[in-house]
Amino acid sequence: MIRLVAILLAAVVVALSAGGAEARAAKRAFKLSDYPLEVQKTLSVGPTTCREVEGGGKVGFAPDTVRKVDFNGDGRLDYIVSFENTTCGGQKTGGFCGSGGCAHDFLVTLPSGKLRSVFVGQIHDYKILRGFPRKVRFGIFHNYCGDRPDYDKGCFRDVRIGYRMFDPVY
């Protein structure tokens, strides 16, 4: 009898946790209004790109389109916008990504509270490195790698993110 109760209790726990996973997934759905105006302005290129480059279709932003991070340890949230998983009409398209990578925008929050875009461009990927102020390792298109042995695979550049504009290529 105790074994039967334990099995039933385990089944209830599994069922409840599955419902919780669905609720968490629904909670993670992308909401434009969750972000500051400057981030929303960056995201406004999504519908424009779908309309002009892809011939229409509703833009779809993935839950990981915007990432919040504190680049310099000042306690203010900074933002990374990545169009890598953005869709038009439910389909992944070339309007946001190409041979140079996918469109990204790095925005920092200034001491005044305003946001400033410090990098807008295409990169293959990025990794936020440990420590403060933080550095970001950018995966860049091989044409910008010079005469390095890994030229055909692309290369990486580490950049310390501050309040000034930068380009990981140079």
CA dihedral 86, 134, 124, 61 (to 10 degrees): 0
The answer as to whether 110 is a domain residue is yes
Are both 47 and 116 inside the same structural domain? yes
Stretch 87-92: mean pLDDT, rounded? 89
| Winning range, highest mean pLDDT, from 52-61, 79-88, 123-132 | 79-88
Diameter of the chain by CA atoms?
73
| Winning range, highest mean pLDDT, from 39-53, 91-105, 141-155 | 39-53
Note the pLDDT of residue 57: 85
Q: Two tokens at 95?
A: 């309007």
pTM as predicted:
0.76
- 153 versus 104: which is more confidently predicted? 104
Q: 1 lies in which domain range? A: 1-30
CA 11 to CA 132: how far, in whole Å? 46
The answer as to whether 145 is a domain residue is yes
Apex CA 117: angle with CA 86 and CA 91, to 5°?
Answer: 5
The answer as to whether 103 is a domain residue is yes
The answer as to whether 119 is a domain residue is yes
Domain total of the chain: 2
